[in-house]
């Protein structure tokens, strides 16, 4: 057997450099870049391997471990899971910073490879700098925290263990039914230890993303349910996008006349202008989608996790509504007591279309009326003006109308995802990029880097609030470093407006959700609002920044930004509370069962009433 002597880290880099994925006959290199924040251990391990060469992987310098991993997650999502950016860190806090991003990737079913440093496998220098000691076991380290948020975890304690660990990591990363975060913890001494690796381990390896075809029996059982339905509805989830099944969904809906609604991950897969497109569904959904959903007697859920935001905490659909699920993941197929089709979305939709030849839904007139009514409401929000200042929905509308069809919109948390699922009108396919499985504050600011790396030819506009910016924005500097023009749209409403809105809607007064000075007279955080100048902050980093208070200032800034050769930030001062409300939806939250506050008691009574009308499974 031919071998080559390499350190574990050198072998890891060469292995990753040789990995490819194949889908529908098209091969793609799986790893072209690697993020890293170097510290002790990894800088002389993986860092040395990257610097030494003999590979084609480009190093990207992250500024914070969580934030670079969020950028890597967004990159893989925008690439429809056909390419990843592994993330390298040191031990201790550097490793722990990536746990949140791991949870984000796993919740969204996005491949993310994390390579945190770890304490010495030999245990001789213990306790080393940044090592947390666990008195019950020397074998436990802080990287065990990744076990709870990763789909695969391994600790490489001998250099030869890399071979099985790397193959299983790739198995999970390239499996659409089981993908998510993968962690290979690397003790810092093992990173530098050498082994005679078989050359065959480092060969060019292709992982095939084969499409799973539904069985004839599965297809017929699902078709039988749909044939009996008069008011069916399709839910288009992220799996439609990842399996490139948009055209198949369009053929299915047009052939059957069944309307479709979109999850946050599925939005933008098909044109918003299509007459069967009812828009977003659920808690942040449109009036049209939610009203049709409440009348549905059959729902075909394609590539969706059926989260509480999609189902309005299972309240949106009647007990008599039957579900059919098309999903590659067995875990998702049986939700809501559905009839499962365990299959690739494209293959399943084409099979169902054939099985339902001649079938037509009966709710066409209702669908048209609801859609037409909603579009008028949406136009009203996009053009709503307020003499007190710029509203959030008006600012969003101005930016949306300015963007070109190929421009990509990014979002994740706060009230903006609700406004965007209801109102935003994407251009070309895959230009709406929303992380709403984890609703990870900071994804927007840092994920925008990953999206821009994934599609450098497109303008990337990312939408977030002042609360998100204060939490995590380090990779703005990386955008500047890499010469990437990203448009950072900061909506400043002086606090966590989304949570304040939830708080108020559940009978509570505003408390702890606005950014105010502490009042010496009361001792509470009820002093004046804090006048934060985010434009100056961004300018200090080197970005081009704009302070915006009016429509005219926003329009001028958008036009001027396209002349810049660097990232830009729009500091948009919007009126608090100027987001869209919910439409024919409900979201279950844990309201206090007992309270001295009358409005809270009313909110709890409302909760009890809604729970009575909610499907149990």
Q: Tell me: the pLDDT tens digits for 298-342?
A: 999 999 999 999 999 999 999 999 999 999 999 999 999 999 999
- Cα 361 from Cα 373, distance rounded (Å): 20
In the block, tokens 């889908």 appear at: 23
Nearest to 266 by CA among 105, 397, 429: 429
Residue 256 CA neighbour count, 13 Å, CB half: 31
CATH architecture label of 383-494+530-573: 3-Layer(aba) Sandwich (3.40)
**Helices 416-423 and 364-382, axial angle in degrees (round to 10):** 130
Give residue limits of the domains in the chain. 3-208, 216-371, 383-494+530-573
Count of Cβ atoms closer than 10 Å to residue 25 Cβ: 5
Q: What is the per-residue pLDDT for 617?
A: 81
**CATH code of the region 216-371:** 3.40.50.1220
* pLDDT band (50, 70, 90) for residue 122: very high
Q: What is the per-residue pLDDT for 41?
A: 83
Count of Cβ atoms closer than 10 Å to residue 511 Cβ: 12
- Beta-strand ranges (E) seen in 72-130 are 87-89, 112-118
Stretch 181-189: mean pLDDT: 97
Q: How many residues does the chain have?
A: 617
**CATH code of the region 3-208:** 3.40.50.970
Stretch 465-477: mean pLDDT: 97
Going by the DSSP 8-state scheme, the letter that residue 406 receives in this structure is: T
Tokens at 141, concatenated: 């380290």
pLDDT above 70 coverage of the chain, percent: 100
The arrangement of strands across the sheet holding 277-280 comes to 277-280, 260-262, 232-236, 298-302, 322-327, 339-342
* pLDDT band (50, 70, 90) for residue 361: very high
Whether 409 has a pLDDT exceeding 90, the answer reads yes
Fold agreement (3-208, 383-494+530-573): yes
pLDDT above 90 coverage of the chain, percent: 99
* pLDDT band (50, 70, 90) for residue 424: very high
- Cα 542 from Cα 574, distance rounded (Å): 24
For residues 287 and 224, the answer to whether their CB atoms sit within 8 Å is: no
Instruction: Tell me the three state secondary structure of residue 367.
Output: helix
Q: What is the per-residue pLDDT for 293?
A: 98
For residues 543 and 568, the answer to whether their CB atoms sit within 8 Å is: yes
Whether 173 has a pLDDT exceeding 90, the answer reads yes
- Cα 488 from Cα 168, distance rounded (Å): 37
CA 498 to chain centre: 18
* pLDDT band (50, 70, 90) for residue 616: confident
Give the pTM: 0.97
Stretch 147-166: mean pLDDT: 98
Tokens at 92, concatenated: 């201790």
- Cα 125 from Cα 238, distance rounded (Å): 47
Tokens at 36, concatenated: 């890293």
Torsion-angle region of 215 (φ positive above 0: left; ψ -120 to 50: alpha; else: beta) = beta
Q: What is the CA radius of gyration of the chain?
A: 25
Nearest to 346 by CA among 324, 326, 325: 326
């Amino acid at each position: 057997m031919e071998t080559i002597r390499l350190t574990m880290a050198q072998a890891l880099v060469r292995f990753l450099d040789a990995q490819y994925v194949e889908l529908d006959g098209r091969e793609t290199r799986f790893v072209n870049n690697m993020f890293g924040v170097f510290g002790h251990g990894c800088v002389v391990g993986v860092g040395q391997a990257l610097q030494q060469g003999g590979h084609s992987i480009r190093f990207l310098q992250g500024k914070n471990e969580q934030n670079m991993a969020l950028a890597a997650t967004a990159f893989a999502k925008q690439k429809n899971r056909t390419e990843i950016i592994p993330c390298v860190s040191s031990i201790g806090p550097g490793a722990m910073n990536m746990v949140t991003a791991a949870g984000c990737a796993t919740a969204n079913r996005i491949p993310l490879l994390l390579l945190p440093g770890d304490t010495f496998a030999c245990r001789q220098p213990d306790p080393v700098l940044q090592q947390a000691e666990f008195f019950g076991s020397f074998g436990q380290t802080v990287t065990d925290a990744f076990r709870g948020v990763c789909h695969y975890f391994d600790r490489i304690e001998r250099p030869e263990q890399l071979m099985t660990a790397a193959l299983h990591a790739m198995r999970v990363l390239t499996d659409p039914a089981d993908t998510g975060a993968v962690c290979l913890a690397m003790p810092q001494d093992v990173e530098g230890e050498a082994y005679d690796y078989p050359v065959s381990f480092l060969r060019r390896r292709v992982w095939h993303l084969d499409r799973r075809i539904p069985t004839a029996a599965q297809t017929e059982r699902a078709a039988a349910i749909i044939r009996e339905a008069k008011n069916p509805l399709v839910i288009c989830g992220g799996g439609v996008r990842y399996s490139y099944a948009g055209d198949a969904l369009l053929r299915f809906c047009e052939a059957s006349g069944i309307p479709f609604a979109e999850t946050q991950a599925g939005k933008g897969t098909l044109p918003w202008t299509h007459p069967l497109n009812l828009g977003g569904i659920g808690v942040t959904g449109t009036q049209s989608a939610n009203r049709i959903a409440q009348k549905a007697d059959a729902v075909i859920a394609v590539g969706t996790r059926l989260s509480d935001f999609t189902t309005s905490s299972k309240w949106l659909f009647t007990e008599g509504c039957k579900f059919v699920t098309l999903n590659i993941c067995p875990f998702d197929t049986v939700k809501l007591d559905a009839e499962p089709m365990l299959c690739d979305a494209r293959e399943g939709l084409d099979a169902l279309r054939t099985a339902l030849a001649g079938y037509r839904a009966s709710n066409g007139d209702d669908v048209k009326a609801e859609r037409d009514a909603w579009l008028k409401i949406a136009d009203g929000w996009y053009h709503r003006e307020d003499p007190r200042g710029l509203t959030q929905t008006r600012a969003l509308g101005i930016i949306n109308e300015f963007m070109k069809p190929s421009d990509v919109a990014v979002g994740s948390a706060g009230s903006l995802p609700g406004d965007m699922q209801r109102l935003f009108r994407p251009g070309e396919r895959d230009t709406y990029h929303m992380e709403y499985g984890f609703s990870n504050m900071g994804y927007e600011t840092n994920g925008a880097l990953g999206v821009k790396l994934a599609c450098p030819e497109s303008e990337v506009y990312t939408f977030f609030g002042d609360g998100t910016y204060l939490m995590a924005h380090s990779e703005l500097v990386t955008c500047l470093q890499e010469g990437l023009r990203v448009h950072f749209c900061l909506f400043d409403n002086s606090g966590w407006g989304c949570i304040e809105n939830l708080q108020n809607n559940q009978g509570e007064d505003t408390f702890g959700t606005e950014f105010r000075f502490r009042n010496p007279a009361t001792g509470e955080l009820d002093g004046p609002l804090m006048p934060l100048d985010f434009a100056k902050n961004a300018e200090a980093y080197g970005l081009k920044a704009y302070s915006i208070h009016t429509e005219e200032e926003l329009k001028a800034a958008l036009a001027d930004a396209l002349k810049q050769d660097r990232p830009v930030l729009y500091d948009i001062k919007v009126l608090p509370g100027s987001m869209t409300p919910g439409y024919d939806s409900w979201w279950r939250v844990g309201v206090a069962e007992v309270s001295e506050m009358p409005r809270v008691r009313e909110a709890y009574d409302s909760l009890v009433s809604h729970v009575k009308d909610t499907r149990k499974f």
